[in-house]
Amino acid sequence: MPDTWGHKLAEPLFERLTVIGCGLIGSSLLRVARRNNLARTLVAADISQAVCERVAELTLADEATCDLAGAVAGSDLVILCVPVGANENVARSIGQALAAGAIVSDVGSVKSAVMASLTPHMPAGTHLIPAHPVAGTEHSGPDAGFATLFLNRWCILTPPPGADEIAIKKLSDFWTAAGSNVEVMTSEHHDLVLAITSHVPHLIAYNIVGTAADLELVTQSEVIKFSAGGFRDFTRIAASDPTMWRDVFLNNKEAVLEILGRFTEDLSALQRMIRWGDGDGLFNLFTRTRNIRRSI
Ligand code: NAP
């Protein structure tokens, strides 16, 4: 039975887990893996010496190293937790060092592009099962992580066609034991769903905060002073990590542009309603959206 932290296992699911990239997501994974006994040995790897030193200080893993290839040797689960655009370089560094039978996964917010960049570097006999925990905050780095980040949140697995069923089940069990609810879908479907539920909302937040910053008629101090009127939530979202979000938009281009096209059409319709004083149109839309919120 899951306790309030997910499942604490009597026996670890994996012998040796390597997490590459020990920021918000990677360090949260290490914390919950230790807390819930998900793997016997935890190895942390990061390109940054300072991050490795901090991981060691926080005792998040049994080993912390900048040697990515050395870190994956002998691991039966390797999870890449780096910005989406860094996955290919990491895969190139670790490919030859991966153990036969290892499950290789990631946590990237975009799935088709990550799958395309990882696949060529996976040796025969390893199992690539990409994943995306739909959980996060606007903070970064190893100090920002916490063990309950994934609790009661969705984790979406996007195994390629023909992926090993046992490997899928084992990774699914891992995320369930970390406290998540697991769903499986294709990478293309994932990218479309996340474009509307996460990527375009972030873009809107970045845009509106940028617009407010550029307004000359409203001073910066007024923006901050009166931000409770809806703007505050946008500023929180727009404080999200610039590297991560740059990579999301560069790597989920098609789905984001598709959703943005629809969004701008709907925005133009709203603009018309306001211009022509169509109160009924506005009221009907706002009633429909309020019902959606209530059903959530
Ligand atoms: P983060 O806190 O910035 O951590 C990323 C870590 O990866 C940093 O320590 C970074 O080191 C390291 N790194 C960068 N390039 C590397 C490389 N080539 N080799 C090894 N390590 C490298 O980022 P995060 O928020 O955890 O995001 C990581 C992944 O999770 C992204 O793919 C993102 O799409 C996904 N994700 C994020 C969220 C969220 O809300 N944040 C939610 C779900 C999924 P430096 O600091 O030195 O660059």
* pLDDT attached to residue 3: 53
How many Å apart are CA 104 and CA 122, to the nearest integer?
Answer: 8
Cβ(44) to ligand 1 under 6 A? no
Helix boundaries (H) for 36-124? 49-57, 68-72, 87-94, 112-118
Tens of pLDDT, residues 46-83 = 999 999 999 999 999 999 999 999 999 999 999 999 99
* pLDDT attached to residue 231: 86
Which residues contact residue 25 at a Cβ distance below 8 angstroms, ignoring those fewer than 6 apart? 81, 107, 133, 136, 145, 149
* CA 266 to ligand 1 center in whole angstroms: 34
* pLDDT attached to residue 228: 76
- Residue bearing the CA closest to ligand 1, atom 19: 47
For residue 42, which phi and psi values (nearest 5 degrees)?
A: -110, 125
Tens of pLDDT, residues 89-145 = 999 999 999 999 999 999 999 999 999 999 999 999 999 999 999 999 989 999 999
Cβ(133) to ligand 1 under 6 A? yes
* pLDDT attached to residue 243: 95
* CA 143 to ligand 1 center in whole angstroms: 13
* pLDDT attached to residue 263: 96
Cβ(87) to ligand 1 under 6 A? no
* pLDDT attached to residue 113: 97
Tens of pLDDT, residues 168-192 = 999 999 999 999 999 999 999 999 9
Q: What is the mean pLDDT of the chain?
A: 94
Containing H/E element for 188? helix 187-194
3-state secondary structure of 97: helix
* CA 23 to ligand 1 center in whole angstroms: 5
* pLDDT attached to residue 112: 98
Tens of pLDDT, residues 142-169 = 999 999 999 999 999 999 999 999 999 9
Predicted model pTM = 0.93
